[in-house]
Structure 1
Amino acid sequence: MRKALDTLYLASGVLAALFLVAITLVVLAQVGANIIGKVNQWVTGEPLGLVVPSYADFTGWFLAASSFLALAYTLRAGSHIRVELLIQGARPRLRRFIELWCCGLGLLASGYFAYWAASLTWESWSFGDVSFGMVAMPLWIPQSGMTLGLIVLTVSFADEVVRILRGDMPSFDAKEADLADSFDDTPADR
């Protein structure tokens, strides 16, 4: 089960990165079209008017998908902003309680948002909603990235709650501990 969950979080992170690459490619295509148009205007006196249809819509959807799909991966990697200063001096039992409370609250919040995002995506699919841009995209397609990201984040929070209840260190603390240990090692220690 651990390997399957870690693969899920990694796949979500890889998808997020691919959406960032897609943003770059769409923007570069539009910039290239603008350059070709300007060069043609300079040479012939007339602009070509080349555009990537709905490029602003697509880059916005790709950004939303990338942001939401990256949430679970970054949580597991210990990259979310946390107020470590407030709990670093706490006794282990109190710290465990605070982390359980925070992860439980994160589980409830992400589950709530995942439910409503899935409901919105389902409604868009049921009603056949489409975007208003040059390319009439069915809205359930871009909404799916957000929904999937929230579902994977909810699974990740549930995973963290179970880890804490079993007495294990949360994965984000384990990553921070590994990072701190790597800074504590000096060349003489190795």
Structure 2
Amino acid sequence: MHFIRALRRIDTLLDRVSRLTSGIGRELAVIAIILMMLLVSVNTLARALPFTSSLFFVEEYVGYLFVALSFMGLADTFRTKGHIRVELLIQRLPNQAAALLEFVVTLVAIGIIVILAWHAMELFTKSLSSGERAQTMTRTPLWVPRLFLVPGYALLLIELMAHLSRSILRLLPSTTTTLAKGG
């Protein structure tokens, strides 16, 4: 019983942390959307005014902001069940089997995200140390758009850990009925 109580405390802590961190990611994604909108609007205005032309950097920087938006929003999208999921199989399984499948799939997802985060960190550090730049007119250092990859994966990992914790609790027979009732 002490073990289950400890797991519930860990689950509550993970849920609070993941709610906070996915919220931070969501707000950063919103800021990226606003900046994208402002850049596109200023560029449109610049083309519409006489004696002005399109701003050459807008498309590139909107693309970088899209990367930030995508990665910063990963955790919140997972938290709010916004990712595409095929639940056809899970819906047909008994509760314990569905919980076990969720557990296994979440473990696999964590493994994949850890590998992706590792490679993203290597990519970021290599571009930072080499001074690699985009082959555009702005010659933007490539560590700038790559800056959002690792934090985005980290936020998603926190959310996946919280999901894993809930999956573990669902697997325990004495907690299944309590969790189903919302406790």
TM-score with structure 2 setting the length: 0.80
What is residue 21 of structure 1 aligned with on the other side? Answer: 34
- How far residue 102 of structure 1 moved from its aligned partner, in angstroms, is 1.3
Long gaps (5+) in structure 1: 41-47, 169-176, 178-190
Partners of 1:129 and 1:151 in 2: CA distance: 24
Superposed, 1:28-177 pairs within 5 Å as 28-36=41-49, 40=50, 48-167=51-170
TM-score with structure 1 setting the length: 0.78
Long gaps (5+) in structure 2: 1-12, 172-179
The structure with the larger Rg is 1
2:161 maps to amino acid: A
The answer to which of 3-12 and 157-166 deviates more is 157-166
SS of the aligned residue for 1:74 comes to helix
- How far residue 49 of structure 1 moved from its aligned partner, in angstroms, is 4.3
- How far residue 133 of structure 1 moved from its aligned partner, in angstroms, is 2.1
Q: Contact 1:27–1:55 (CA<8 Å) still a contact in 2?
A: yes
2:22 maps to amino acid: Y
Q: In the alignment, is residue 3 of structure 1 matched against residue 10 of structure 2? A: no
Partners of 1:91 and 1:107 in 2: CA distance: 24
Partners of 2:164 and 2:16 in 1: CA distance: 17
- How far residue 167 of structure 1 moved from its aligned partner, in angstroms, is 2.8
Percent identical residues: 24
Q: Contact 2:44–2:54 (CA<8 Å) still a contact in 1?
A: no
Partners of 1:55 and 1:138 in 2: CA distance: 16
What is residue 45 of structure 1 aligned with on the other side? Answer: none
- How far residue 157 of structure 1 moved from its aligned partner, in angstroms, is 1.3
What is residue 10 of structure 2 aligned with on the other side? Answer: none
1:137 maps to amino acid: T
- How far residue 33 of structure 1 moved from its aligned partner, in angstroms, is 0.5
SS of the aligned residue for 1:28 comes to helix
What is residue 9 of structure 2 aligned with on the other side? Answer: none
